[in-house]
Amino acid sequence: VAVCASPAAIILAPTSGDVVIAAEKSGMALDLFAVQTVLPVSIAAIAVMSVAAYFWNKYLDKKVNTPMERIDVSEIEVKAPAYYSVLPFLPIIGVFLFNGRTLPGLSLDIYTIVVLSIFVAALVDYASKRFDGKATLEDLESCYEGMADAFKGVVMLLVAAGVFAQGLMSIGAIDNLLHLAETAGAGGIALMLILTGLTVAAAIATGSGNAPFYAFVELAPALAAKMGLNPAFLIIPMLQASNLGRTISPVSGVVVATSGMGKISPFEVVKRTSVPVIGGLITVIIGTLILVPMYA
């Protein structure tokens, strides 16, 4: 169960909403931000977390003397053609194809790419259903419903994050954070650690990865500008920390869902994910220090 919950801690998708926002706030092209900064740090964190998860769970199994039982798993009936598995990757392909460099002069933003991908997927579905327009429209309806569910949450988070950030700026939170970072020494590094710590704490408390990240990422560009830092140096650890934090939150959706399926306590899942997540967070911080320039 802990292994099932852990993958939610690491970001690999360049078209993920929080990655798109992070790239915009960092002032970098989405494909460059995802491949040159987020992906190497994520891969390193995955490697460390995998090793830590193996030994930590092995230690806990031995300590608690957990019995191992083989469970028969019923096979899921798949009705869609195998080539449908390529369709979810169309936006990712589009990000790298229409970045203005692969095809010189042809650049599209992520929103246009997603709409174009949906259109291509609809055409494929239309051809696969033997040109049954009604069936294709029914499939698109479920797609739109899913988009609406996702968008209403994201829009509320973005609005709330903007209000929250503006409120913090109004009461002088940025100046206080800068002073705290300077007092702690190591300026930019201290500020990065403070923001990362705040994001992790908020993610654990709320059980959400997006909410704390959207709230604190609004502060990063202003803080970076005042200290002459590269915004990505502050944003990348916050981006990863928000997802790592929710994996050790007993109230997060992924932990509650997996613990419910396994019929165990959420705190048992958190105990088993805690050490791998701590290892992953340390790796993210070290990876950022090595791979991402501190100063703009």
| In-domain check, residue 86 | no
pLDDT at 289: 94
Between the CA of residue 154 and those of 16, 82, 161, 166, what are the distances in Å? 12, 31, 10, 18
| In-domain check, residue 230 | yes
| In-domain check, residue 76 | no
The one-digit pLDDT tens for each residue of the chain (296 residues) are: 677 777 767 887 888 888 999 999 999 999 899 988 899 999 999 999 999 999 998 898 888 776 666 666 666 677 788 899 999 999 999 999 998 888 888 899 988 998 999 999 999 999 998 889 998 998 888 888 887 876 776 667 667 766 776 776 677 766 676 666 666 555 788 889 988 998 898 888 878 778 788 888 888 888 888 888 999 999 999 999 988 998 998 888 788 888 887 788 888 889 999 999 999 999 999 999 999 999 87
Helix 17-26 vs helix 231-247: crossing angle, to nearest 10: 160
The radius of gyration computed from the CA coordinates of the chain, to the nearest angstrom, equals: 21
Measured in degrees and rounded to the nearest 5, phi and psi for residue 228 equal: 70, 30
pLDDT at 72: 63
pLDDT at 94: 93
| In-domain check, residue 45 | yes
HSE toward the beta carbon, residue 200, CA cutoff 13 A: 21
pLDDT at 77: 73
Number of domains in the chain: 1
Alpha-carbon distance of 237 to 193, in angstroms, equals 8
Give the DSSP per-residue string, 59-110.
HHHHHHTPPP-----PPPP--S-GGGGGGGGHHHHHHHHSBSTTTTT-B--H
pLDDT at 276: 93
| In-domain check, residue 79 | no
- Burial tier of 24 (Cβ tally within 10 Å: 0-12, 13-18, 19+): middle
Start-to-end CA distance of the chain, whole Å, equals 42
pLDDT at 46: 92
Token output for 163: 């209000």
65: left (phi > 0), else alpha (psi -120 to 50), else beta?
left
pLDDT at 68: 64
Token output for 97: 């194809």
Residue labelled with tokens 């709409």: 115
Whether the predicted model's global pTM rises above the 0.85 cut = no
Token output for 257: 């869902």
Residue ranges making up the domain that contains 9: 1-67+151-291
| In-domain check, residue 169 | yes
| In-domain check, residue 281 | yes
Cβ pair 93, 99 in contact under 8 A: no
Span 163-207, pLDDT tens digits: 776 776 677 766 676 666 666 555 788 889 988 998 898 888 878
| In-domain check, residue 82 | no
